[in-house]
Amino acid sequence: MAKSPQDRAAWLREELQRHERLYYQEAKPEIADREFDRLMAELAAIEEEHPELRTADSPTQRVGGEPTEGFEQVEHEPPMLSLDNTYDHDELREWAERLERLLPDTEIDFVCELKVDGVSLSLLYEDGVLAEAATRGNGRVGDLVTANARTIRTLPLRLPAGAPARLLVRAETYMRRSVFAALNEEREASGQELYANPRNTTAGTVRLLDSRDVARRRLDLACYEWVQPAGGDGNEERRSHGDCLAALADLGLPVDGSWRRCASLEEVVAFCDEWQAKRGELDFETDGVVVKVDDPELRERLGTTAKAPRWAVAFKFEAEQAETVVRAINAQVGRTGAVTPVAELEPVRVAGTTVKRATLHNYEDLARKDVREGDAVVIEKGGDIIPKVVSVFEERRGPGSKPFEPPTTCPVCGEKLYQPEEEALLRCVNAACPAVVREAIRHFASRNAMDIEGMGDWLVGELVGGGLVGDPANLYGLTVEQLADLRKTNDARLGEKAAARTVASLAESKGRSLSRLIYALGIRFVGDATAALLARRFGRIEALAAASAEELEEVEDIGSRIAESVRAFFDSERNQDLLRRLEDAGLQFEEEQTETGAADGPLEGKTFVLTGTLSGMTRNEAAARITALGGKVTGSVSGRTDFLVAGEKAGSKLRKAEQLEVEVLDEAGFEELLAG
């Protein structure tokens, strides 16, 4: 037993690190959780009394510290490149054949690893201690998130004796499916909006400014690359990639153990097929396999392109499908009154989640596919896409099967439904319909709109159903007492803490920009990009409300359909009253003027469209950077579009841009354009 605080703290740090390794890395715990917590509390008490004894690698640092004001930037050397994708065996063979042409008469061995669907990090250890952790960012520059990374329990803060003096590792941080499910259960119980998927939740978690919140999210880690100096360091022979993975695991770093050396393309294909079939058994999301050349010297000879290494490629899995039965077909009413059919399904596991509902898009699509209640169907869910019905087993239908008849009245308020000309959708035109009100408030409170914490399905439903809220303006009159007394399904109160957070978030939302308010109002055809255009052009809500349809159409990319919709919104007496009450509540009715986005900026006159998911920034951040340099962002591709910025999972906008021969930029090319 050490006597001095210094010796006791050193012993506790070493002992706690040993137990962390036994628990998280080797699954061989020696002590109970209570004893571990007692040792941790003792170390924390010593460090509190003697702050000079607190070290960067102390296990106490995993619980997080005070919030930061922002993230420093760090430059990656070498850059963190993205990967080229292949989607079938033929494309994978074409990649291997290119390698053979570049390296004739050379035997090439591969290493296959599961492509964990998370967020990439660069980890730097100096003298065996974690010194830096940074996000990928744009591949060249990322955010320094060391404090957040320290909260990841599977990440060692200190490496064992014998570790290299300087070790640079690339890794993927992610959230396990089981942790994600538990997190959403907690949010549902407290009336908060549920998270969409583990990957997006991980991305948001890594960039939280309060590392204590990160610690509560229980992220995990998988290391996939030991970055060795080019040509070796002169002291030892460079290791193959497979040997590097084994060495990282020996150092206590988390490495997914499913990786495999493959001596031929046939073995690579077999690995991909094996895990495409088995991926549902995993406790983490994976969207494919990364195939890499094993030999570091061959990697150097192959080199890289502007955005990706030639020696590695990603084989993307097909969207997961499953067979189930349609229990019922119900009508769902959206915030604009659109009534859409939804299939209620026998629960089935698809892409790591239990699916109970699938979209049928509209009643014309339903009739075309001829989906009926009681049908056996195939559903598909790729990544975070909403599950959809792909096909029907018509031959299995019973003799009593009948085609589905679309509703004629609103399933919520009973009003007669209306189908506008040239639209496939049915609509409820009753503005007071509880379903319309509920969805309008959910949209108003959503992340890209007013971003009000806690306004999930349950809470919004209780507020509307209980008569406390009839439109968004009513939200700003809510009190902690009103919210705290609301009862959940288990008859538990929402509670004062959760209620206070929501009321505080409501107060904070009053300072949101005019563009976000315009988007939050839910004007038909007005997305966040169009809302930003209108806010910049008119500057004040009064000027926008007074603009004629002709003046609105003078704004580039605002056509007659959008202009008429905006005009109809502000002509409504109901909406005029809503705006008066929102202004009385203190919301931002004027766009803040910034010094960025000067008319003579380097992107002046250039029009951009953004599509897909960007890894280094959100699309809103990308739009802000474009406008800061004088460019313009619109929501649709046309002959006047100069650039389409295409992230992961780009869809129809990419196809249209290619048809119109619009220049397409990937994320690396976009960053180069901004930098230049």
Please state the length of the chain: 676
Q: Are 372 and 401 in contact (CB under 8 A)?
A: yes
Element (H, E) at 114: strand 110-116
d(CA 422, CA 55): 67
β-sheet bridge partners, residue 359:
342, 388
If DSSP states are collapsed to H, E and C, what string results for 604-617?
A: CCCEEEEECECCCC
For residues 266, 270, 276, 279, the Cα torsion angle rounded to the nearest 10 degrees is -140
115 is known as an active-site residue: yes
Tokens (6 digits) for 256: 């997914």
CA-to-CA dists, residue 521 to 127, 310, 437, 516, angstroms:
55, 48, 12, 9
Q: Are 312 and 83 a contacting pair, CB within 8 Å?
A: yes
Q: What are phi and psi of 394, to 5 degrees?
A: -60, -30
Give the pairing of strands 312-316 and 426-427.
unpaired
> Which SS3 state, helix, strand or coil, does residue 449 take?
coil
In this structure, are strands 166-174 and 119-126 parallel, antiparallel, or unpaired? antiparallel
Half-sphere exposure of 7 (CA within 13 A, CB side): 4
Q: Which helix (H) or strand (E) holds 122?
A: strand 119-126
- Please tell me whether residue 225 adopts helix, strand or coil conformation: strand
- Pick from 224, 118, 126, 134: which is nearest to 171 by CA? 224
How far apart (Å, rounded) are the C-alpha atoms in residues 554 and 552? 5
DSSP string, 372-402: -TT-EEEEEE-TTPPPEEEEE-GGG--TT--
d(Cα 289, Cα 272) in Å, to the nearest integer? 6
Q: How many CB atoms lie within 10 A of CB 340?
A: 19
| Gap between the Cα atoms of 426 and 315, Å rounded | 41
Tokens of 354: 């239990």
**Residue ranges of E strands in 276-400:** 286-293, 312-316, 320-333, 338-350, 353-359, 376-381, 388-392
Task: Select which of 3, 28, 115, 381 is catalytic.
Answer: 115
Q: Give the DSSP H or E segment for 647.
A: none
Distance between first and last Cα of the chain? 61
Residue pair 291/92 in contact by the 8 Å Cβ criterion: yes
Cα(37)–Cα(53) distance, integer angstroms: 19
How many contiguous H segments (helices) and E segments (strands) does the chain have?
24, 21
The catalytic site residues sit at 115
